[in-house]
Amino acid sequence: MGAMGDGEIAPIPGGITAARGVRAAGVHCGIKRQALDLALVASERPASVAVTCTTNQVAAAPILVCRRRLTAGRFAALVANSGNANACTGEGGLADAERMGELAAAVLGVPAEEVYVASTGVIGARLPMGKVEAGIRDAAARLSPEGGGEAAAAIMTTDTRVKEAAWEVRMPEGTFRVGGMAKGSGMIAPEMATMLAFVATDLSVPVPLLRRALQEAVAGTFNCITVDGDTSTNDMVLAFANGRAEIPAAAPASPALAAFERALREVCGELARMIVADGEGATKVVEVLVRGARSPAEARRVCLRIGNSPLVKTAFFGQDSNWGRIMAALGSAGVPVDPARVAIAVGDVSIVRGGVGLGAEAERAANERMRQRSFSVTVDLGLGEAECRIWTTDFTEAYVRINAAYRS
């Protein structure tokens, strides 16, 4: 709950259609054998939009299409499919992505430039456009203010759970809502596991303010579960704001903007943690906190180095406070460190001080903490004031099984 002054904020049920004036649907069109595989989200009035997307130089066709849209900054609808990433599909794939947008635009009676497109799934296969076209028609006919859940289900790939979050903000002038959905579960190699998130608000937020708010929210949430600058071919986070709440638009430095930024961060944070918790084959969610770094950038490098180390992550799986692997990881992060200043704790149990282990008793207590499904690892570099926090998972045999068999 926030202070009353700048908007009381609380979680509410639902996902993207928790925002008023948003309808959604999820259908099975046949890209996958059985499951829902096509989602449509439509705003009942033109909305402002902001997108952050992959920095991978091998960007998928829908990413290229969305980038073309961004200059206009207006959003009418989103069409997203799972089961096929439409990546590495050449000019033909690009035409398919454009066509996907055009088909949705035609069915909904909106300009094609305001329809965004996303895809996730196998790379390198062309979309079955006949099925996609039929799916878009079916989805348009099903659009509903209660359709958020099935839309969220339709963007899943190896996800085992639907990921939705929504918050409501109470302002003196009335309420507004922020709701969203996400997919993603390949947390071992986050740089290459597609992550999609779509967030809607019924507040009116001008494009420049929406862009800044989204960037800031992503930096502290989705980018804390992924490797900086190393993203999949299809990663995308999109936010749109349709003003349907009919309270005054967010203005620079206004209480509404501040409250919106907080609600957006909450929604993105919840969705990000859901992605980690649904990591492929994961049995643990681990918060890695690096403090005492000389700069935030250095803290982040060390944090990611530890959080992405297969040896550290297999030790998490083994419930083994093998801090030697953490020391080896932080020593190879490409950041100056002084081993003799390093302290490490699991939860509140110190296991290393001055770069040296505190003994078998401490390790046993730490192993005890690691039996929980969720725990934290804190590393103090002892060099400065900067810190960084990320969420990661353990690394399990099930991960290998899932990824070895994914296409077969």
What is the contact surface with its own copies in residues (CB under 8 A)? 55-59, 85, 87-90, 122-125, 186, 188-189, 191-193, 229-233, 309-311, 314-315, 317-318, 320, 322-325, 327-332, 334, 336-337, 339-340, 352, 354-357, 395-397, 399-401, 403-408
CB of residue 361 to its own copies, shortest distance in Å = 14
Residue (75 or 323) nearer to its own copies, CB: 323
Give, in order, the Cα–Cα distances in Å from 127 to each of 53, 67, 80, 99, 339: 21, 20, 12, 11, 52
CB of residue 86 to its own copies, shortest distance in Å = 11
Q: Tell me which of 157, 194, 378, 396 is the catalytic residue.
A: 194
Give, in order, the Cα–Cα distances in Å from 267 to each of 24, 280, 286: 18, 22, 20
Helix axes 129-142, 90-108, angle to 10 degrees: 20
Residue 205 and residue 70: Cα distance in Å, rounded? 16
Instruction: Examine the residue annotation and report whether 120 is marked as an active-site residue of this protein.
Output: no
Q: Give the alpha-carbon dihedral of 69, 74, 77, 78, to 10 degrees.
A: 40
DSSP conformation class of 313? H
CB of residue 327 to its own copies, shortest distance in Å = 5
Nearest to 9 by CA among 227, 255, 340: 255
Residue (7 or 382) nearer to its own copies, CB: 382
Residue 379 and residue 260: Cα distance in Å, rounded? 33
Residue 167 and residue 179: Cα distance in Å, rounded? 6
Residue (112 or 125) nearer to its own copies, CB: 125
**What are the two backbone dihedrals, phi and then psi, of residue 141, each rounded to the nearest 5 degrees?**
-70, -25
CB of residue 281 to its own copies, shortest distance in Å = 9
Distance of CA 76 to the CA centre of its chain: 22
CB of residue 339 to its own copies, shortest distance in Å = 5
Residue (221 or 232) nearer to its own copies, CB: 232
Residue (260 or 395) nearer to its own copies, CB: 395
What's the number of CA atoms in the CB half-sphere (13 Å) around residue 190? Answer: 27
> Which helix or strand (DSSP H or E) is residue 51 part of?
strand 38-53
Residue (116 or 399) nearer to its own copies, CB: 399
What's the number of CA atoms in the CB half-sphere (13 Å) around residue 5? Answer: 2
CB of residue 89 to its own copies, shortest distance in Å = 7
Beta bridge partners of residue 252, listed in sequence order:
none
Active site residues: 194
